Amino acid sequence: MTRSTQWWQDAIFYQVYPRSFSDSNGDGVGDLAGITERLGYLELLGVDALWLSPVTVSPMADHGYDVADPRDIDPLFGTVGDLDALISEAHSRDIRVTMDLVPNHTSNQHPWFRAALAAAPGSPERARYIFRDGRGPDGAEPPNNWPSVFGGPAWHRVTEADGTPGQWYLHLFAPEQPDLNWENDEVFADLAKTLRFWLDRGVDGFRIDVAHGMAKPAGLPDMDITHNELLINDDDDLRFNNPGVHAIHRRIRSVMDEYPGRVTVGEVWVRDNERFAEYVRPDELHLGFNFRLAEAHWDASDIQEAVDNSLLAVESVGGVATWTLSNHDVEREVTRYGTEAGASREVGLRRARAMILVELALPGTVFLYNGSELGLPNVDLPDDALQDPVWERSGHTERGRDGCRVPIPWEGSAPPYGFSTTPDTWLPMPDDWADLTAEAELEDLDSTLTLYREAIELRKTRPEFAGAAIEWYGAPPECLAFRRVGGRLSCVLNASAEPVALPGGEVLLSSAPLIDGKLPADAAAWLA
Ligand code: GLC
């Protein structure tokens, strides 16, 4: 199957976590004007598009993934005018702007949910969400046994208008994030309005949150509870990946198709390749996040398998592969690779640098998470600084995702490193990041930022990166080597403990200096 060429097919997206990117008004939280001020940096980095995590109106129970008004900007981040300014400034630099869209649930402060609480069981207001009577003689048991992804039950019991304990509503995430009832046509009609609202303002597309959610199984049966991780990767999990979801994606696509050149990328935690492929059929999502590379351990065969699987996952439908090493929900790669047996943070950084060369050598769309280009590690935050709802919901057993969401260090030698004018940033910044600021790394030829810039530049300009397929070729034990079939770029990764000889060819770039012409341990190289 062939599809026409689109800008996003080999684009590099850069995920901005707006709270943590750049604070223009000194309140300790990043904002839209802050992002606009930093566009020069993003242009220098060479990215093609931004993905903004939610900036719409939200009480911030889940930092924006609880949306109270999907068609307005939260004052914490600025105004719709600030978004307009960001879009036009970005476009003038040839950077596209995509937004997060959260269709699975709303905030409990959304006018619809407030109306649902005020209305009676069985009312049209309640029919926009998933309200059920409880089980047991007095309805005191939740309607089924589903756990919330953030810990605790996925149901919350409401108090009816007359003060009596009443129905329960479903929330797969926090109680402040009630799930919408996608069998109700009003729900899609409203989403279509939201899509058009932002598309008409020039937004280039959407990252769709929990794109494998939305549809629920008939009768909401009990599930086998084996595990309950945020990274939902169990295909038998009844809460997600129900077949009805595809009709919803087709309806979203029909609106997107009115706006040629715009793109959707879905957050699809689905393991089985055939079922994953269903999401990126020609009339559904343009792209689906494939998280296998982010899940792979520092192990050559694990990484090779992740690459093969990601390519295979889209092959049957002629889709485009996507690659990501991290995002705002997972531990940063420097820390992930640095905490595997025998590793250290320094080794983690070497491996993260190697993996960006692997990722950028692959055919398809790449998603970078802000701060990865600086080689930022996760931060061990003190208990009292933690903000992720996961911390409270899990009864302080899961620390949650704050460690990868610490603000970006821009310049200077002490917190807040130019991120803000107040040292009182929404998450505290570590004291030892002076060498990891954008300013310090821009000037340092050996920095991770320089490596990213060089790699992105090569990927964009060299003919070796042509072609949609790769082939593996023989590599020493614990190493991997592949070649782009079209342009014949070679990428070699050394995950062994010893330096290895490189094949013939011009070395375009390596993540660490070669030793007597050999590729050292924990490093990767590109050859023409
Ligand atoms: C997605 C988001 C995550 C959020 C959740 C609920 O997994 O990436 O940050 O908490 O959805 O909206």
Q: Report the C-alpha gap between 164 and 245 in whole angstroms.
A: 35
Q: Could you tell me the CATH number of the domain that includes residue 154? A: 3.90.400.10
**pLDDT of the residue at 518:** 98
Task: Flag whether 118 is in a domain.
Answer: yes
Q: Is 176 in the pocket of ligand 1 (CB under 6 A)?
A: no
346 counts as catalytic: no
How many angstroms does the Cα of residue 328 sit away from the middle of ligand 1?
9
Q: Report the C-alpha gap between 3 and 5 in whole angstroms.
A: 6
- pLDDT per residue as tens, the chain (528 positions): 345 689 999 999 999 999 999 999 999 999 999 999 999 999 999 999 999 999 999 999 999 999 999 999 999 999 999 999 999 999 999 999 999 999 999 999 999 999 999 999 999 999 999 999 999 999 999 999 999 999 889 999 999 989 999 999 999 999 999 999 999 999 999 999 999 999 999 999 999 999 999 999 999 999 987 655 554 567 888 999 999 999 999 999 999 999 999 999 999 999 999 999 999 999 999 999 999 999 999 999 999 999 999 999 999 999 999 999 999 999 999 999 999 877 899 999 999 999 999 999 999 999 999 999 999 999 999 999 999 999 998 899 999 999 999 999 999 999 999 999 999 999 999 999 999 999 999 999 999 999 999 999 999 999 999 999 999 999 999 999 999 999 999 999 999 999 999 999 999 999 999 999 999 999 999 999
**pLDDT of the residue at 343:** 87
Q: Is 474 helix (H, G, I), strand (E, B) or coil?
A: coil
Going by DSSP bridges, is the β-strand pair 507-510/69-73 parallel, antiparallel, or unpaired? unpaired
Task: Flag whether 120 is in a domain.
Answer: yes
Task: Flag whether 252 is in a domain.
Answer: no
Comparing CA positions, the residue from 525, 495, 481, 480 lying closest to residue 342 is 495
**pLDDT of the residue at 225:** 75
Q: Report the C-alpha gap between 12 and 15 in whole angstroms.
A: 10
293 in Cβ contact with 307 (< 8 Å): yes
Q: In what order do the strands lie in the sheet with 131-132?
A: 131-132, 165-170, 155-159
Task: Flag whether 317 is in a domain.
Answer: no
Comparing CA positions, the residue from 264, 245, 242, 243 lying closest to residue 253 is 264
Q: Report the C-alpha gap between 418 and 41 in whole angstroms.
A: 14
Task: Flag whether 122 is in a domain.
Answer: yes
Catalytic residue, candidates 74, 204, 209, 284: 209
Q: Is 306 in the pocket of ligand 1 (CB under 6 A)?
A: no
Task: Flag whether 179 is in a domain.
Answer: no
> Which numbered atom of ligand 1 lies nearest the CA of 62?
10
Half-sphere exposure of residue 40: CA atoms within 13 angstroms, side-chain side? 5
Helices in 362-437 by DSSP H: which ranges? 389-393
> Which numbered atom of ligand 1 lies nearest the CA of 65?
12
Ligand 1 pocket test: which of 210, 326, 387 has the largest number of ligand atoms within 8 Å of its C-beta?
210
Output the CA angle 329-334-337, nearest 5 degrees.
95
Q: Is 194 helix (H, G, I), strand (E, B) or coil?
A: helix
Beta carbons within 10 angstroms of residue 218's beta carbon: 9
Q: Report the C-alpha gap between 177 and 174 in whole angstroms.
A: 5
Q: What is the enclosing helix (H) or strand (E) of 453?
A: helix 448-461
Handedness of CA 220, 224, 227, 232 (dihedral sign): negative
How many angstroms does the Cα of residue 65 sit away from the middle of ligand 1?
6
Q: What is the enclosing helix (H) or strand (E) of 376?
A: none
Handedness of CA 339, 341, 346, 348 (dihedral sign): negative
Backbone angles phi, psi at 25, to 5 degrees: -115, 10
Q: State how far the alpha carbon of 399 is from the alpha carbons of 136, 348, 379, 394, in Å.
A: 34, 21, 11, 8
Q: Which residues, 6+ apart, have CB-to-CB distance to 119 below 8 Å?
A: 125, 126
Task: Flag whether 28 is in a domain.
Answer: no
Structure tokens at 37: 């001020």
How many angstroms does the Cα of residue 282 sit away from the middle of ligand 1?
25
Going by DSSP bridges, is the β-strand pair 263-266/12-16 parallel, antiparallel, or unpaired? unpaired
Closest C-alpha to ligand 1, atom 5: 65
Q: What's the total number of domains in the chain?
A: 1
Q: Report the C-alpha gap between 375 and 345 in whole angstroms.
A: 10
**pLDDT of the residue at 232:** 53
Backbone angles phi, psi at 433, to 5 degrees: -105, 10
Q: Report the C-alpha gap between 472 and 470 in whole angstroms.
A: 7
Q: Helix 300-315 vs helix 345-361: angle between axes, to the nearest 10 degrees?
A: 30
Catalytic residue, candidates 222, 258, 274, 471: 258
Task: Flag whether 166 is in a domain.
Answer: yes
Q: Report the C-alpha gap between 224 and 163 in whole angstroms.
A: 34
Beta bridge partners of 264: 206
Q: Which domain holds residue 147?
A: 111-170
Q: Report the C-alpha gap between 322 and 334 in whole angstroms.
A: 20
Q: Is 210 in the pocket of ligand 1 (CB under 6 A)?
A: yes
> Which numbered atom of ligand 1 lies nearest the CA of 327?
8
Beta strands in 428-494 (DSSP E): 470-472, 479-484, 490-494
Ligand 1 pocket test: which of 67, 173, 240, 289 has the largest number of ligand atoms within 8 Å of its C-beta?
173
**pLDDT of the residue at 347:** 97
Structure tokens at 199: 């598309």
Structure tokens at 299: 């192990």
**pLDDT of the residue at 234:** 72
Output the pTM of the full model: 0.97
Structure tokens at 151: 């810990």
How many angstroms does the Cα of residue 82 sit away from the middle of ligand 1?
24
Q: State how far the alpha carbon of 113 is from the alpha carbons of 24, 106, 170, 173, in Å.
A: 33, 8, 12, 15
